[in-house]
Structure formats: structure tokens, C-alpha cells
Structure 1
Amino acid sequence: MKHINPVKPLSLQQNISWSLLGNAVYSVCQWGILMVLAKRGSALMVGQFALSLAITAPVYMFSNLQLRVVQATDARNQYAFGHYLGLRVLTVTASLLIIGLIIMAGDYQGNTAWVILWVGLAKGFESFSDIVFGLLQKHECMNRVAVSLLFKGPLTLLVVVLALWTTGSIVAAVMGLALVWLLLLLGYDLVNARQFSRIQPVLELRKLRPLILISLPLGVVMMFISLNTNIPRYFIEGKIGTEELGYFAALTYVTVAGAVMIDALERSAAPRLAKYYSGGLFKDFRALLLKLVLSGLALGVAGLVVVLLFGPKILTILYQPGYAAYAHVFALIMVGSGLGYMASFFGCAMTAARCFKIQPFLHALIVLVSVLSSAVLIPLKGLEGAAYVLIITMSLQLAGSFLISGYLLRRAARQPEGTSIDGQREGSCEPV
């Protein structure tokens, strides 16, 4: 058996810095793709791309089962990397089949169908990179994740720009995107994984069953979160049109700047939160969670102030003058995003505490509210109504995750500091 040399983990500050760098560059490049589609193409192209993401994202959010986070927070090493990789092979295969069925059932044709198909394939490649990132995250080596993203973002943007410049086809652009993600997976991500573990997927369902049972609630949660994001987009596309969906997608993607910082903080802090909670270091757990939530609040307020002052100018510079007419919608979207930033950290705390089973119920309620409010507000108020839906659902998510996290902290307060909670039922918020 090949010997695997141990790799020294980075400090929390180093991991956060690398995560911020990698996620910032990658997200700016993703944003750049949307800008190129808006400037070189049309709002219809932006809408087609947004629709492909709205269709494929819930499928992969569910099938990924949030294995990256489960793996990164597996402080007791209950499962090997081969288990996570094997389960990911099965779920990606199932996801591609489901996306194909959605294309046929939805009667999508022409460029729209091809864009959905190629984006679905690209997300399959991304899903395998994601499981490698979980391995690197577990070993607190976020610099390697960041380098992958530093390659991925600029290369993807370059290929999309060249494809649109030479062909004017969004289909050619997403084909190039998929090719870049495949080459990066094979040429960099899997090479990194071999330094930490054997690349040997376990494909026996009997061995994967316990992992499926643990991670399934999180898969349901992520599907609900994705649906919550995309349900307003389904209503916009169905009630108003694909072009209007393009405008809404462009507005919401501006908030990616804040989401990048939140994601970097969350992914870097998750293993540390898990170690604090499982090791009984409850004061450290509470202190770190408080810092994260306050950072989310500060970021949300800062973003809203910037949009209120410079919203129309920002939209004109980033896209085209026609987008500035939606500046009031832009401000409402920023309010919802700020609420979501804080809710995200409470969700991270719940996952770090291995509190999985209650989360699907919370997010099922949020999805139900999203459907009902979208059905009422979007036909009445258009894109402004969609922004109000975002505020309503993010408020509910923040309130629910706060209450559950508060329960975890109150229970932890009854435990002597330093007392391990290894006796907690896996996936449950309750002790044995």
C-alpha cells in the first residue's frame, strides 16, 4: 500500500484567508460570465443560463447530500474518503439521469435544452471536485482548494468569452465551461486528493447505507434551500418570461460578493466548530459562532448602504443602462441577502453539532412559504414581488435556525466545560 505523507494543517486565519482569496476570484469570474452574457449577448441569454442553473441546482444540491460538510466535520473519522467518493459516483449518475428526464418532461427545446444539458454535465464534474474539497477541508488545507478555484475561475471566464466572441452561441460557451471543469478535476483536484487518501471509491450499497442515512437529511435540506432560491425564478419564467428572469438573475448575482465572504468564513470555521462542540469546548463554540453571525450582520448592512447610495450606477456599469430601472428591486434583494448571511452561520453551527434530522422540517416549511408567497406576490408585483419573497423566506430561515442553535447552546451550557458529547445520536440534536 502506498504511504501517504502527513500534511501539516494551516491555522484558522490562514484557511480563512485562502478561502476568501479563492472564492473571491472564482465568484468574480462567475459574475464576469453573467456580465459577458448581458453585454455581448442579451437578457434572453442570461435568462437561459439562469434557468439552467435553476433546474440543475436543486438536483445536485439534493444528490450531493452535503457530503463535503459531512466529511469535513467527521472529527471521529467514521468513514473513509472512499465511502464519500463512492457515494458521489452513484449520486452524480442519478443526477444526470434526472436532469435528462426534466428536459424531456419540460419540453425544453433548441438552445435552452442544450444549455441545461451541458450545465448539468459541468455540475457533475464540479460535484467530484467538491468531494475532494471536503477531504482537503477536513485536513484544514484550504490553500489547495483556493488554488483550484484560482485556476477554475479565470480559465472558465476566458473560455466563455472566447466562445461568445467567436461563435455568439451560449451553447458553445457552456460546452467550453464543462470542458474546463473536467480538465481541472482530472489534472489538479484528484492529484491533490492522492496526497491524503487512496482514490478508490466504495460502491457497495451495504457499506454506504449508514453514510446515506446520516447525510440524507442534509441532502433534503440543501435541496430545499436551492428550491427556496429558485422557486421565485420558476414563477418569473412561467408568469413573466425568460428575459425578465435574466434581469432578476443579474440583480441577485451582484450579492455574490457578500456570499463569497460568508462561504469562506463558513467553510473555514466548520471543522473548528465541530471540534469545539464534539470536544465539549462550548465556550469556544459560542464565541466563534457569535463572531461569525456579527460578521454576517455587518456585511449585510454595508451592502445595503452601498446599494442605496449607488445602486443605479452599479447596475449600469456592470450590465447595461436598462438594468438601472430595477435599482429598487436591487435594494430589496440586498435586505434578503443580509438576513441570509446570518442564517447561514446558524445553519453551519447546527451541522457542526451533527444536528441534521430537524433541518429538513425547517426548510420544508420555508419552501412551502416560498411557493405560497411567490404565487401571490410575483403575478401582482413582478420582480419586486420576487424580492419580497426573498425577504420573507430569509427572515423565516433566520428565525428558525436561531431557535434551533439556541437550543444547542442552552443544552451545551448544562454540560461541564470539556465534556465530550460522543454519546449524542448521530444526526440528532438529542443525547443518547
Structure 2
Amino acid sequence: MNNKEIVSSKKVFFWNIVGSLCSAGSSFYLLMVVTRICGASQAGIFSIAFAIAQLMLTIGRYGMRAYQATDLREEFSFSTYLTSRLITSFAMIISSVIYIIVSGYTIEKSIIIFFVCLIKMVDAVEDVFHGLFQQNFRMDVAGKLLAFRNFFTMLLFTVIILVFKNLLITCLLTSLLSIVFCILINIPFTTKFTDINFSWNYNNLKRLFIQCFALFAGSFLSLYIYNTPKNAIDKYMLNEFQTFYSILFMPSFVINLFSEFAFKPLLTNLAVYWDKVEMKKFIYMIVKLISLIIFISFFVILISYFIGVEVLSLIYSVDIREYRIEFVILLIGGTFSAGVNFLYNVLAAIRKQKSILTAYGAIAITATFASAFFVKTYGIRGASMAYLLSSSSLFTIFLGILIFNIIKKIKISFNSN
């Protein structure tokens, strides 16, 4: 295997699906295991820990994946990307510690949150390797490794929690062993594409961090926006309600991740079409992918309305049947969120980072106050409404930004000809 090997699109698509399935399913599975073995209260702690870890992960990734994958002219070397990821992963852990201290959690809850953040840091570490594979049109390699590593983490977590019946010990051992495993499986494949070195060139690192800052800030604000309902529940309601909301929210989160099946392998192609001003192909692919997200979500929502809460109640051994309406609201919000995730990556590919940051900044302010109000007034239904409001608003703004830039690109191309 090397970076010049021609791989069929079916193979790339298949392994991207497998990898994304394992990645999306891991959070679903881990929460189920904790709920069944440790109970709803401990699951509530794990849920908020996972939400915080997802927020901290945006620091570890720094929004670089979309930029790296679409770096067609290799403006930055892999060594620079790798070094930057070492810096951002360290920053992620420091930020996690500061967040935990400032939040004033109990000692047990603080330690659990810290080690869940370490588990998610593995996602940041492997992401830079997978960005290299995607840059070389080898998402099949990234998909295989993503599936293998997530399967290992789920298996490891299950075995440890069954043996010790202790969430804290489980998170501690899983985090440490997952980091080692991630490095061991990714390095051999990476050496088939490039040498693994660190580059401490200050100017290159500075330039890379500046180029990706808006993407980082946007992705951070994105997770902050989507977590504001959870944070409001954590502040105004009991841990058990955090568990209920997280179980209800999980399928909408999965819709978001599953949407990556369609667009992630094609992101580099979109960048090529934009760079070569092949606008018909670019627009056709955008419309096709958005339509696919809507099509998939429609059937998920339809089926989930009739059997969703019953299935989730059975899986998690927690009765959430009274929250059917909240469940549907979250699924609709998940559809918009999947669209936002797609448009975010498209805007990153065409280098419109500043527009992304402006949109997220505006919605973040609104979401903070809206979530607190809705949760205090309507409880879990209010949290669901706040999520739908934020995701639909972001989708509308991002779509408007993309359409504006497409029209602008076409006019420039027409005038130059």
C-alpha cells in the first residue's frame, strides 16, 4: 500500500461507513453500558463528562481536519500538522483541568470527567493521521483504523467496568490503554505515506494556527451551542434527567455522525471542483449531499416516532416513553445539525473560515440565554426546543453564506472570461 495506489470509490465508501459507524456507535454503546451496570445517576455523570470531553476535543483537533484534508497544494507538511497536534492535545488536557477546577465539581466527578477527556483526546491524536490519509484520497485506510480503534475502546471499557463495577477506574484504565493502542496502530500505516517527524518551525506553526483559528473557534462554539441544553439541565435539574436527555439526544447525534458517510470521502473532491472553478459539479454535489441527508433523516424520524422511545427504553433499561415528542424534536434538530456539519466542512474547504466564526458567535450568545430559559420553564422539552432552534438557525445562516459565495465565484469567473 502507498499513496499512489488507486483504490475503488466503493472500497473507500465502505470503509468510511464502517469507521463512522463504530465512531458514532461508541458513544451510544458506552452510555448504555454505564446505565445498565452503574445506574442512571452514574450515567448522568458520564453523560455530562462526555459532553465536556466533546467540547474539549475541539481544542485538541483545532478544526484542522477539514483544512488538512483539502490542503491540495501541501501548503503545510505533515510534520507541521503533527507538531501542531501535539501542542493542541496538550492544550486540550490543560483546558480540561482548568474547566474542572472552575466548575467546582465533586472530587469523584472531577476525576471521571478528566479521564473521559483523556479518552476523547485519542480522537484528536488519530485525527491528524487520518487527515493525511484523506488528503491522499485514502479514506479507506482511515476508516479501517477508526473502526479498529473504536472497537478496541468499546471492548476494553466493557471488560473493565464488568470486572471492577467502578466508573472511575474504568475511565482511567481505558484512557491510558487507548492512547497507547492508537499510536501503535496508526504509525505503521502513516510511514507508508510519509516520514514521521516533528517540525518546530515557529513561522510555519504560527501561520497554520492563524489559518485554522476561525475553524477552531467555530467548532468550539458549535459544541458549546449544542451542549448549552445539557449544561442547563446540569444546573437546574437532577442527574437522572441528564441521563434521560442524553439517551433521547443520542439518535440525533448519530444522525449527525452518519451524515459523514456521504460527504467526508467527497470533501477533497469538492475542494478540487472549487479550485478549478467547476461550479456545475460543485453545486450538483452540494445539492445531492444535502438531499441525501434529508432523505435519510426523514426515514429515521418516521420510524423513530413509532418505536424509537420503546427501543431506547429497552436498550438502556430506563423508561423514557413519556418523552416521545421531545425525542422527535431532537431528531429534527439532528437533521439540521447534520446539515450544519456538512456546510461547515464545505465552507472550510473553500476557505471561508471567518464567515463560520461570525455565524457561530452570533448563535452562541442566543443559545446561552435561550437554553437557560427553556430548561427552567419547560424542562427536557425546553432543552429539546433550544437544540432545534440553534441547529436550524445555524443551517439557515451557513446555507446563505455558501449561496452568496457561489454566486460571487460564478460572477468572478464569468467576468474573467
| Same-fold status (TM-score > 0.5) | yes
What residue identity is the alignment partner of 1:90? Answer: I
Change (3 A) 1:103 1:9: farther
CA distance in 1, matches of 2:177, 2:295: 36
Offset of residue 266 of structure 1: 2.5
Offset of residue 346 of structure 1: 2.1
| 1:222 matches 2:203 | no
RMSD in angstroms over aligned alpha carbons? Answer: 1.9
Q: Deviations over 1:216-237 (max 9, x none)?
A: 0000000010101111111100
The equivalent of 2:374 in structure 1 is 377
Unaligned runs of 5+ in 2: none
The equivalent of 1:133 in structure 2 is 130
The equivalent of 1:121 in structure 2 is 118
Q: Deviations over 1:177-235 (max 9, x none)?
A: 21342133221112211111221122233321111110000000000101011111111
Pairing 1:136-285 to 2, within 5 Å after superposition? 136-285=133-282
CA distance in 2, matches of 1:215, 1:10: 30
Is the contact between residue 46 and residue 249 of structure 1 (CA under 8 Å) also seen in structure 2? Answer: no
Question: What is the aligned counterpart of 2:310 among 303, 308, 313?
Answer: 313
Pairing 1:35-114 to 2, within 5 Å after superposition? 35-114=32-111
What residue identity is the alignment partner of 1:362? Answer: A
Structure 1 stretch displaced more, 201-210 or 284-293: 201-210
Other structure's SS at 1:200 match: coil
Is the contact between residue 18 and residue 144 of structure 2 (CA under 8 Å) also seen in structure 1? Answer: no
Other structure's SS at 2:194 match: coil
Offset of residue 9 of structure 1: 4.6
| 1:343 matches 2:340 | yes
The equivalent of 1:427 in structure 2 is none
Is the contact between residue 115 and residue 175 of structure 2 (CA under 8 Å) also seen in structure 1? Answer: yes
CA distance in 1, matches of 2:291, 2:3: 35
What residue identity is the alignment partner of 2:255? Answer: G
Is the contact between residue 20 and residue 260 of structure 1 (CA under 8 Å) also seen in structure 2? Answer: no
TM-score, structure 1 normalization: 0.91
Is the contact between residue 307 and residue 331 of structure 1 (CA under 8 Å) also seen in structure 2? Answer: yes
CA distance in 2, matches of 1:100, 1:249: 23
Q: Deviations over 1:132-190 (max 9, x none)?
A: 11001111111111111221222222222222211111112212321342133221112
Other structure's SS at 1:322 match: coil
Offset of residue 73 of structure 1: 0.5
CA distance in 1, matches of 2:391, 2:82: 32
Unaligned runs of 5+ in 1: 421-432
CA distance in 1, matches of 2:91, 2:80: 17
Offset of residue 5 of structure 1: 5.1
CA distance in 2, matches of 1:151, 1:64: 20
The equivalent of 1:406 in structure 2 is 403
Change (3 A) 1:367 1:330: same
Other structure's SS at 1:358 match: helix
Structure 1 stretch displaced more, 215-224 or 159-168: 159-168
Is the contact between residue 68 and residue 135 of structure 2 (CA under 8 Å) also seen in structure 1? Answer: yes
Other structure's SS at 2:353 match: coil
1 or 2, which has the higher helix percentage? 2
Offset of residue 256 of structure 1: 4.0
Other structure's SS at 1:311 match: helix
Is the contact between residue 64 and residue 91 of structure 1 (CA under 8 Å) also seen in structure 2? Answer: yes
TM-score, structure 2 normalization: 0.95
What residue identity is the alignment partner of 1:311? Answer: G
Q: Deviations over 1:259-280 (max 9, x none)?
A: 2321222221111100110111
What residue identity is the alignment partner of 2:358? Answer: F
CA distance in 1, matches of 2:362, 2:89: 27
Change (3 A) 1:25 1:301: same
How many residues of Structure 1 are paired with residues of Structure 2 in the alignment? Answer: 416
What residue identity is the alignment partner of 1:351? Answer: A
Change (3 A) 1:60 1:32: closer
Change (3 A) 1:314 1:5: closer
Change (3 A) 1:282 1:39: same
